[in-house]
Amino acid sequence: MFVLLVVMALCAPLYAKHVAHTTPDRNNITGKVTVGGEQRDVVSLDGIPIGPTWQGEYLLGADQNGRDVAVRLLYGARNSMFIALTATAITTILGIILGLLAGYYRGVVDWIISRSMDVLWAIPVLLLGVALGVSLALGGVKLGPLELSGDSLWIPTLIIGVVGVVYLARPLRGEVLRLREQEFVEAARAQGASGPRIMFGEIFPNIIATVLVFFPLLVANAVLLEAALSFLGAGVRDPDPSWGTMIGEGEKVIITQPALTIAPGLMLVLTVLSLNVVGEAVREAIDPRARVRLEQ
């Protein structure tokens, strides 16, 4: 299922060009479409968009700006995947580094990292994400050579990547604390290996399995968080499509145009379900005894 969703997302430009004959952000408010031999307004004079036509153009209907919902759904999948995978990669890299440092060095380093994690853990992730998303959207990000405009996809990506670190760093720290007492680490230390060498040469290979189990769950979590942030106006910004923004826009016309909300909602459910199944399969394959879940 997840592979199918990825393939659909990758094929979005082909669908848009050859089937729907539009782009994800092309407005068509005063346009018309032929449905069953009858010319119909894409958006009526009352501002009500057309519902599903079950044909190439406007398969799932239009939004209030006359944009093709099916096309935006597929492009939304691309954005969701990009953000979720990239954010999870950021989470993973930061989580591994922080977990290794805290678990291996212990003492002051562990205290600083663990208390920082506690602070992050204490703030509701969604609240933190919304606060960061809204404030960064105004002025963008300027950190030395790094410059992002307020509507860049990288802003929600970085936010989700950073706020997700606690989910990985804490369990990895525990794993590293256990591993650092193992004989193979003692042996490396006796041979004069440096701290970084032991961490990345000896301990890291032994935590890869845990990371692999966590990865799909983190991706699923990132997909949900991205959708929530976008729904609340703090994630992906117009004209870029996102399932979260599509649900938010559809909510206002949910009685007359339920497809606008149901379609992205269904995609979200399928994606998260399939990622959870993947995560479960990975866990079964690597370590059937492990019990892994993301606590919020």
Q: Please identify which residue in 29, 85, 188, 270 interacts with other proteins, judged by CB under 8 A.
A: 29
- Among residue numbers 217 through 276, which ones bind other proteins (CB under 8 A)? 233, 237-239, 252-253, 255-256
Q: Please identify which residue in 6, 11, 64, 94 interacts with other proteins, judged by CB under 8 A.
A: 64
Q: How far is the CB of 292 from other proteins (least distance, A)?
A: 37
Would you say the C-alpha torsion 143, 95, 106, 200 has a positive or negative sign?
A: negative
- Among residue numbers 176 through 215, which ones bind other proteins (CB under 8 A)? none
Site string for other proteins, 65-104 (x = CB under 8 A): x---------------------------------------
47 in contact with other proteins (CB under 8 A): yes
Rounded Cα gap, residues 248 and 242, in angstroms: 10
Site string for other proteins, 110-149 (x = CB under 8 A): ------------------------x--xx-----------
Residue 68 is given by DSSP the state B
Interface with other proteins by CB under 8 A: which range of 23-31, 77-85, 193-201, 203-211? 23-31
Rounded Cα gap, residues 107 and 94, in angstroms: 20
Which residues touch 245 (CB under 8 Å, ≥6 apart)?
Answer: 76, 230, 231, 233, 235, 236, 237, 238
Which residues touch 258 (CB under 8 Å, ≥6 apart)?
Answer: 250
Say whether 43 sits in a helix, a strand or coil: strand
Q: How far is the CB of 293 from other proteins (least distance, A)?
A: 34
**Considering beta carbons, is residue 118 or 151 the nearer one to other proteins?**
151
Q: Which residue in 179, 203, 163 sits closest to 294, CA to CA?
A: 163
**Considering beta carbons, is residue 3 or 45 the nearer one to other proteins?**
45
106 in contact with other proteins (CB under 8 A): no
On the CB side of 40, CA atoms within 13 Å amount to 18
